[in-house]
Structure 1
Amino acid sequence: MASAPPVGYPPTDRTVPTRSRERAAYDREMVHGILDEGYVCHLGFIRDGAPVVLPTLYARSGERLYVHGSTGSRPLRGARADDGLAVCLTVTHVDGLVLARSAFHHSINYRSVVVHGIAHEVTDPAERSLALDAIVEQAVPGRAADSRRADAKELAATAVIRLDLLEVSAKLRTGGPNDEPEDISLPYWTGVVPVARTYGAPIPADDLDPSIPLPGYLPGRPGK
């Protein structure tokens, strides 16, 4: 029987922050929770000697992240090499605006994950299918089974890369402002403005058959 994965990811030189080290965390469950709550990441890599960061959809499946895109995109082409593509992938959730009495101490409450590693192209058909379904499900749970699967032409135009969760860290900030003692008496409002993601009511396409009901899994639908 396979042993359970360790509780935390081992810290490395790249995953230990130089500032506010007390905000860093390596707990596997916490990392997974932050990743599972989102669906947009920022993928960083080096192109022609210069840094590039691209926003894109992602999904987590176990200890792997999957990212998809056009077969002609530079990061996906780079991941085809035998040695893969060195990347840094980040996911961030903003939970609040922290307004201090001084401009210097303004901040945000947030949860973030940073993943360093080598991305590789996914070529196995079964894993590609799993990854593409997972990316749809990450954004809208329940949608993969309620849509047409990609056909051969669409699959040929789509590349998928995977990034193993090996060198990983989370970082969080919670709580209120950290004002200087000498600023406490200043006449400025101070506190936290909560930030939350919300969904509006789904808007049907102009050519939708009116007999097709609103799926129960959609966020923003009445009663959800």
Structure 2
Amino acid sequence: MPTLSPTRRTTVTRGADRAIRERDRMLALLGDALVAHLGVVVSRDGTSHPVVLPTAFAVDPDGPDADGTLYLHGSSGAGWLRSALASDVCVTVTELDGLVAARSAFHHSMNYRSAVIIGRPRLVDDPDERARALDLIIDHMIPGRATTLRASTRKELAATAVLAVPLREASMKERAGGPVDDPEDVGGTAWAGHIPLRRVALPPVTAPDAQGEAPADVRRRVEALA
């Protein structure tokens, strides 16, 4: 597994001691997280403005792009799609792992894992690759789910866009543990420590018009997040 080799655009400068070099740790983060945020500059009517959009995603470490492929789900009718294809985009994925309470306001922090990927996206138009990408996105939400569903219709596929972003230009940062207080503050009376956080799934709620109990793939997903 190659190490992360950030470019000038993705080199960590602030808090460089939190930079992660192991690519497999970034892939682990992308496997845990469920939402990516896509940053793109949208041009319209002679003006431009930045937009950051949440989106479902999936990763194929052995995908056709440089160092693997990040697939992003979107709508073919979305106004940002053309702008995204015309220039480089920035994708961020973050997992919040804890709240850090220090003895001073300055040293309060958060425990997190965060990845930044920059690159020129491409529209996935090959039918086989797009079908695989959509299956990966569904299975990223609920592993094993894609094989239980009917085939997508032409209308549904026409309304769906999949973008592929190379994983080559990427960086990751991570913070863990308790506060780092100034020595002169350690003897103070304020409490210091951290509050671990994790995502927890509640029991599945069956739709009113659905029959039977939640299937095995859904139950496994809930158990994994219990």
TM-score by length of 1: 0.90
Tell me the residue number matched to 1:18.
13
Give the deviation of 1:41 after TM superposition. Answer: 0.3
Tell me the residue number matched to 1:217.
217
Structure 1: 4+ residue segments shifted above 2 A: 74-80, 219-224
The answer on whether the counterparts of 2:42 and 2:84 sit within 8 Å (CA) in structure 1 is no
The answer on whether the counterparts of 2:96 and 2:111 sit within 8 Å (CA) in structure 1 is yes
Give the deviation of 1:208 after TM superposition. Answer: 0.9
Structure 1 letter corresponding to 2:25: M
Give the deviation of 1:126 after TM superposition. Answer: 0.3
Supply the distance in 1 between the matched residues of 2:71 and 2:15 (Cα, whole angstroms).
30
% of aligned pairs identical?
Answer: 44
Structure 1 letter corresponding to 2:216: G
Supply the distance in 2 between the matched residues of 1:213 and 1:222 (Cα, whole angstroms).
18
Which one of 28, 32, 38 corresponds to residue 27 of structure 2?
32
Tell me the residue number matched to 1:96.
98
Give the deviation of 1:133 after TM superposition. Answer: 0.5
Tell me the residue number matched to 2:55.
56
The answer on whether the counterparts of 1:71 and 1:77 sit within 8 Å (CA) in structure 2 is no
Supply the distance in 2 between the matched residues of 1:121 and 1:75 (Cα, whole angstroms).
13
Tell me the residue number matched to 1:3.
none
Which one of 172, 179, 193 corresponds to residue 191 of structure 1?
193
The answer on whether the counterparts of 1:115 and 1:169 sit within 8 Å (CA) in structure 2 is yes
Supply the distance in 1 between the matched residues of 2:176 and 2:129 (Cα, whole angstroms).
38
What's the Cα RMSD here? 1.8
The answer on whether the counterparts of 1:70 and 1:159 sit within 8 Å (CA) in structure 2 is yes
TM-score by length of 2: 0.89
Q: Unaligned regions of 5+ residues in structure 2, if any?
A: 62-67
Instruction: Name the stretch that deviates more: 6-15 or 140-149.
Output: 6-15
Q: Report whether the alignment pairs 1:119 with 2:110.
A: no
Q: Unaligned regions of 5+ residues in structure 1, if any?
A: 1-5
